[in-house]
Structure 1
Amino acid sequence: MKYLLRHTTRYDYETSVTLSHNEARLLPRNLPWQYCENTQLSITPEPLRQQERRDFFGNQVVYFTLQAIHTCLEVTVTSQVTTQPRALPDIQTPAWESAAQLLAPGNHRHHPVKAAACLEARLFTLDSPFAQKQAELTDFAQQSFQPQRPLLPALLDFNQRIFEEFSYDPDFTTLATPVLEVLENRRGVCQDFAHLAIAALRSLGLAARYVSGYLETQPPPGQEKLLGADASHAWVSVFIPDYGWLEIDPTNGSTPNERYITLGWGRDYSDVTPLKGVMNGGGRHQLNVAVDVLPQT
């Protein structure tokens, strides 16, 4: 699939801003299944300084400083993205307990051949600000992860259960809503379901990371697609020994395909916040985000 990706973030401030320092994680990654070209980043007002780097997780980060007095900040990224299908692993996966054991501290001494592959993944077994291990999450996950069940079918069942048992409700949660509250009320948005899945998998000793990106949406039958009506999306990637990282989307009960565009990944949302910074002035602000994922011929 070929897409034109366009993402605009606009802040309108109540009073003037005299100085701001910002980080943007808005540039999509080049991956074996995803190629980006003609990527452009536009910032208004024009930054005094602008630098690019890669963070700890390999995401591309743009740092910029504004010193011109302004009451509006607008950041737009455009990119031509080509994606490829991603098939499920054609392997016999080990029992999930075996995978968790390989990721446990100290086990590299007993499995030296697999140590290098598991070392990076081990970071994603640890607690992070939005995804922490909880006994209630262990109980919830174990309905899919029965004793000695192979990891892949357990993951797919777990993914489907979240899709079937939880309701998508954008009015229920905020960024600060705890995962256990999402579990208790069985409602939330893609970000909540990703954090819930990650925390539950980590509670079992598995490695799971947060993936940020976009999903091409389809308009209702007979209607045209509205510009700016798409949105950011979040899903999960889980480490499978002898295979690598498998992505699941608990919001839709599916595994990501060529309709998904990957922006970046980290331990949870806090590692891939699209735009964040500090500033002098501004007062209250209004945020508007417009996203387009437009298929190209």
Structure 2
Amino acid sequence: MIYDIRHVTRFDYGRPVAFARCNLRLKPIDWPGQRTELYTLTVTPSGRTFPARAEAGLANIVRLVVTEPARTLTIDSASRVVVDRPVPVPRADDPVLGRIAGLARDSRDASPAGPSAYIYPSHLIALDRDIADWCRADLDPDRPVLEAGMALARRIQREFTFDAKATLVDTSPREAFLKRRGVCQDLTQIMITGLRAAGIPAAYASGYIRTLPPKNKPRLVGADATHAWVLMWCGPELGWIGLDPTNGIWMANDHIVMAVGRDYAEIAPIDGIVLGSGAQKLDVSVDVAPLASGPATLNRNA
């Protein structure tokens, strides 16, 4: 699949802001099964942009500095991404969870994609006994890793209600777990909590998912949103495998990875500081347009 992706973020300020410094993580990373062919970034009013080093996670970071007073700030990101990623197929001889946990503990891979960085609690994803106990039913140490991961993803999809009004961006995994409601970020963080409690490296993937309109309805331009799902380390041979607990599916050709980290705080599409006073209004529009036809499923996104 080839996708053209447009991600437009507009800030409207009640009063002119004197200074803004932001980290932009809007260019999709190259990841197994995908590559970025084209990318453009347009900022209005124009500011200074320069590449920055990712201090945590896997992301393409651009630092934006705006020093002229402004009442609005529009960040327009456009990408063309080629995705060719097979759907994982669980096998009876896949390594079991206990084996994966041992390999992760013993790993000396200190790279940003090394498994040992994703075993422990992170800023937004703490250890939680109740979530660990609930997830343990699917995470028997003797169970093959792909079978176990999908079983947990589908149980979350089945037993939790997708509800955009139930949580906020800073809602903890525990709060969403107790409500049994939330959006893709919440369901992803609950699954990561359970996997890490079992000793399985689990990362937070941020990106996009192709969505299909209802039958006989036109596709709405700009109606999509960013999405989140889980990357589970399945040993040195299988590597990182994506699972989408919001939809109960594997990461495949409908998913485009923008950034990977321990949690959302490390790879938010935009973060930073703004100096000014007055109210702020945020509007985000995302459009994922396939350029080549292929099989797809009706997905829920964030």
Specify every segment of 5 or more residues in structure 2 that has no aligned partner in the other structure, as ranges.
Answer: 293-302
Distance 1:120 1:38, change over 3 A: closer
Aligned equivalent of 2:290, options 277, 292, 295? 295
Between 1:213-222 and 1:173-182, the stretch displaced more is 173-182
- 1:293 corresponds to which letter in structure 2? V
SS in 2 for 1:87: coil
**1:162 and 2:163 aligned:** no
Q: Deviations over 1:122-155 (max 9, x none)?
A: 1101111211111112211111113522222111
Provide the residue aligned with 1:86 in structure 2: 86
Distance 1:245 1:117 in 2: 15
Q: Deviations over 1:4-31 (max 9, x none)?
A: 1000000000011011111100011123
Q: Confirm or deny: 8 A CA contact 1:18 1:281 kept in the other structure.
A: yes
Identity of aligned residues (%): 32
Q: Confirm or deny: 8 A CA contact 2:57 2:262 kept in the other structure.
A: no
1:115 to partner: Cα distance: 4.3
1:241 to partner: Cα distance: 1.3
1:99 to partner: Cα distance: 1.6
Provide the residue aligned with 1:273 in structure 2: 268
SS in 1 for 2:233: strand
Distance 1:275 1:14, change over 3 A: same
1:282 to partner: Cα distance: 4.0
1:57 to partner: Cα distance: 2.9
Q: Deviations over 1:185-239 (max 9, x none)?
A: 2110000001111111111111000000001111111111111101100000011
Distance 1:74 1:290 in 2: 11
Distance 1:54 1:34, change over 3 A: farther
Q: Confirm or deny: 8 A CA contact 1:43 1:75 kept in the other structure.
A: yes
Q: Confirm or deny: 8 A CA contact 1:71 1:282 kept in the other structure.
A: no
Q: Confirm or deny: 8 A CA contact 1:59 1:265 kept in the other structure.
A: yes
SS in 2 for 1:25: strand
Q: Which structure 2 residues correspond to residues 227-242 of structure 1 after superposition, within 5 A?
A: 227-242=221-236
Provide the residue aligned with 1:72 in structure 2: 72
1:79 to partner: Cα distance: 1.2
- Normalised TM-score (structure 2): 0.91
Provide the residue aligned with 1:40 in structure 2: 40
1:85 to partner: Cα distance: 2.7
SS in 2 for 1:101: helix
Distance 1:64 1:226, change over 3 A: same
1:179 to partner: Cα distance: 1.1
Distance 1:44 1:244, change over 3 A: same
